[in-house]
Amino acid sequence: MLKLSWLISLGITLIGFLSIQQFFTIQPEGVSANGNLGLVGIVIVTPFLLLSLYTTYRFFLVRIKEGKDKVMKIISIFVGFFMIAVLFYLVIDYKNTVVTSLESNINIDEFPQLNEFTFDIFFNFYTYALVHTVSGVIGTMVGFIQPKKTKEELAK
């Protein structure tokens, strides 16, 4: 049941992230309207994002506590840190690409960091994967450090 709720929350959050990126980001050639409709999308997606991060944390916490092999637990932590490093590089590279393309068309310094031209910097697949990987690694590390409770301790 935990795996199903985790997968459903991942799917809903991914759809929300990609919707904000596709529907609320204005191309630099476009005309900026009055207001920032992307904030409506962010407000709608935020509770699902928080739920998804919690279920990711909880899923990895439970899985690592159920595991028996200590070597595999350590390897999974290192793989998680490697994934964080790769995703961090991809996020920075994507941000630099978007900012470079925007600077050729508009003066980006006149706008706040989160605006209708830059939603795709913050709401894309790379940032989605990065925040969920960080949540999973934190859950894995907490599950590795915390002692497993016995049935007698759970009964109390």
12, amino acid identity:
I
Residue 40 lies in a domain: yes
Given a contact cutoff of 8 angstroms between Cβ atoms, the answer to whether 64 and 144 are in contact is yes
| pTM for the full predicted model | 0.81
Could you tell me the CA-to-CA distances from 99 to 30, 67, 124 in Å, in that order? 16, 44, 14
Q: What is the DSSP string of 87-154?
A: HHHHHHHHHHHHHHHHHTTS-GGGS-SSSTTTHHHHSSHHHHHHHHHHHHHHHHHHHHHSPPPPHHHH
Domain boundaries, position 83: 2-147
Total count of domains within the chain:
1
Residue 18 lies in a domain: yes
Residue 74 lies in a domain: yes
- Tens of pLDDT, residues 76-128: 999 999 999 999 999 999 888 887 877 766 665 555 566 666 677 788 899 99
Residue 154 lies in a domain: no
Determine the pLDDT at residue 99. Answer: 78
Residue 156 lies in a domain: no
Residue 69 lies in a domain: yes
Determine the pLDDT at residue 150. Answer: 60
Residue 153 lies in a domain: no
- Average per-residue pLDDT in the chain? 83
Task: Show the tokens assigned to 102.
Answer: 């925007």
- Tens of pLDDT, residues 14-70: 998 888 878 776 665 555 555 566 777 888 889 999 999 999 999 999 999 988 888
Our CA angle for 138, 91, 127, nearest 5°, is 50
Residue 16 lies in a domain: yes
Map residue 79 onto helix, strand or coil: helix
